[in-house]
Amino acid sequence: MPGCSVAQGLPLLVLESIFRRVLPTYESVVDSVLPVPSSSRELLPLMAQCRAWRHVAAAMFYNTAKMWAIGREVSKQDKIDWLSLDDVAAMGCQAYVKELHIHVLLSDLAEPWETEPNVAAALAGHGDLSSVRRLSIFINTNRPSIAAPWIQQADPAAREVVVQNVHALVDQLRRSLRSAKCISIHRSQMSRTAVTRVYGSCLTEQIPSMIGRDTTQLLLDRLDVTKDMVKVLAQATLRSITIVGHTGSQQHVELVRRNAATLEKLWLSRITQFSVVKMTRTGRGGVDTLVYPRLESLHISTLIGPRKTRTQQPQIDPFPRLHTLVSRGSFPFYSAAIFDGGRSHIRHLDLDMDTGLMALFKEHGLAGKGAFAKMQFVSLGWYQSDSAQRDVPHSLVELSAGLSPATRVIRIHAIRTGIMTDAITGLGAATSLEVLDLPRCRLNIDQCIALFSACPRLLKANILFMEPRYRASLRMPSVDVLREYQENNRSPTSRIRALGIRGTNCKTVRRAGEFIVLLADIFSGTLQRVTFSRNCNRYPEKLTRAVEYAKKRPPYKGRQIHAVKFDVGDSW
């Protein structure tokens, strides 16, 4: 076996550390803004010593940098988790930065920048940042800084200072970050005082110049949209618009309408149903359907409330190229045009169902077997404010499995009742099913065995595990019970490789570990990994210890269960 020196092995070890810390993980929740990847300053000394190979990892390690607000005390944890722009500049690696986050405090905009340290001057001191493609600006308020009497009284001089500072910041952004095409602007939640009105109006007026016409991706968090902004961005080639924390004004609707021809992704969080429907009309009072010819991904999160069936609905499919449709809350459209036209192009469907939407599917034949030709991902839940029917679990399973024979991923969420045995048989109708996510559906070991065996192509599953009710006890299952299960399930017809346990519902942690090990042993011929969610029980480490203890019992001696890996993590 060839040897390897420490000098040769060091780069690989550092690269592995970088991969663990830098690779981004994205949430699938619509209401949350996607988190950004973070780098660790703990690796900076190693990066400085290994200059010979640094260019290999530098593009990944220095991909994201943060510029802290002037005067803010950075916490110790933030210093560990993030690379500041000062650290990157000290290493001379500004050319590798592709994503930059700038934090600005209200006090930075309220103080004269001619005499005070400011973010524009700090940005200018870092030289050329033309490599940055994604820019995120976080405008935060710090209450001690707004206690000055002159700004609390909304003095006109305060407005002039804010306007001048915003202009200076915008000019510096243009000079330093001239290649940024993806702009995100976040505003913290503020009370409606005199100072916040002054600050908010000044900021809103200057946003069009901050964004520019070359922007292709735009995210607005808790920000109003003005007519000037709509005019500027109407001439841009926006491919992605994300609106977070706003119910959707007329100008928000107009901004989306003006960019209908170029939009490829639209993300609307906590918006009213009426605003969403208006985006599919040609204009004020118009009844014709506005078509988005290039839109491929639509994410909607509506405010709580029943669907308004009296609003004007689209007569034709407004999204002829839509691949991904995600909706949280009550789905705003009551017309079947979107689903009827989407039979041939929708591949990813994630909906909160209700009685009205379920009736719409049945009335127009959308719930028939193979209704969607290209469907690969189906995620159906039940809208929480709508009264659930007794047969909801079975109905959702039947609908999910029957939409397309090519469906590879099925998720059934927001169901509080357990899945019935006949519903398990319904999942077997999805002949192409490879991934099954049942985060709130309780299944015992007998149902798990039946489910995994009914889906011969199933590779990954995520469940909420419970013990069999007829075996409910505080005692551990006897050796005879374990061997009986092993004898009755000698050759399971399953290819499952990964199993996720979101939670357990057993009398004790020890019993949960016993039955989980028994389930893993039955499928140990193909099963490679069992992952416990971090929210699984109060202390998931106790469950891991219970599993290790259970594996030492006599029925598992010399069996393949010892090759299965048990761990705790977020991904399964």
pLDDT in tens, 146-156: 444 434 445 66
pLDDT of 27 = 34
Q: For the purposes of burial, counting CB atoms within 10 Å of the CB of 149, is it exposed (0-12), middle (13-18) or buried (19 or more)?
A: exposed
Distance CA(142)–CA(378), nearest Å, equals 44
The pLDDT confidence band at residue 5, using thresholds 50, 70 and 90, is very low
Three-state DSSP string of 179-210: CCCEEEEEECCCCCCHHHHHHHHHHHHHHHHH
Q: According to the model, what pLDDT value does residue 245 have?
A: 83
Q: Say which amino acid occupies 556.
A: Y
Please, what is the average pLDDT of the chain? 80
What integer is the mean pLDDT of 106-135?
83
Which of 25-29, 252-256, 547-551 shows the lowest mean pLDDT across its residues? 25-29
Query: CA 218 to CA 238: how far, in whole Å?
Result: 7
Q: What pLDDT is stored for residue 194 in this prediction?
A: 56
In this predicted structure, the answer to whether residue 191 has a pLDDT above a threshold of 70 is no
369's tokens? 């077997």
Q: Reduced to 3 states, what is the DSSP secondary structure of residue 335?
A: coil
Q: What is the DSSP string of 395-434?
A: HHHHHHHHS-TT--EEEE-S--SPPPHHHHHHHTT-TT--
Contact 273, 332 (CB under 8 A): yes
Q: How confident is the model at residue 24 (pLDDT cuts 50, 70, 90)?
A: very low
* C-alpha–C-alpha distance, residues 435 and 458, integer Å: 6
pLDDT at 35: 40
The CA distance from 222 to 185, in Å, is 9
**Ranges 226-240, 254-268, 274-288, 459-473, most confident:** 254-268
* pLDDT surpasses 60 at 250: yes
Question: What pTM was estimated for this model as a whole?
Answer: 0.84
User: Between 298 and 79, where is the model more confident?
Assistant: 298
Return all residues near 245 (Cβ < 8 A) that are at least 6 apart: 221, 222, 269, 270
* Tokens at 290, concatenated: 């506005």
Q: Convert the pLDDT of each residue in 355-391 to its tens digit.
A: 888 888 888 888 877 889 889 999 998 876 666 666 6
Which has the minimum average pLDDT: 133-147, 155-169, 398-412?
133-147
Q: Which position has the higher pLDDT, 73 or 341?
A: 341
Of 312, 308, 307, 309, give the one whose Cα is nearest residue 353.
307
* % of the chain surpassing 70 pLDDT: 77
Pairing of strands 409-412, 265-271: unpaired
Cα angle: 37, vertex 43, 45; to 5 degrees:
145
Paired with 353 in beta bridges are: 382
Q: Phi, psi (5° rounding) for residue 7? A: -65, -35
pLDDT the model gives residue 548: 93
Q: How far is CA 355 from the centre of its chain?
A: 27
> What whole-number distance in Å separates Cα of residue 42 and Cα of residue 309?
56
pLDDT for the residue numbered 482:
92
Reported as a single tens digit per residue, the pLDDT across 269-302 is 989 888 999 999 887 666 789 999 999 999 999 8
Nearest to 440 by CA among 411, 468, 464, 410: 464
The mean per-residue pLDDT over the stretch 397-413 comes to 87
In whole angstroms, what is the distance from residue 412 CA to residue 379 CA? Answer: 6
Percent of the chain with pLDDT over 90: 28
Is the pLDDT reported for residue 251 higher than 70? yes
- Biggest CA–CA distance in the chain, Å, is 84
Least confident of 6-15, 260-269, 430-439, 545-554: 6-15
- Strands 217-221 and 240-244, by their bridges, are parallel
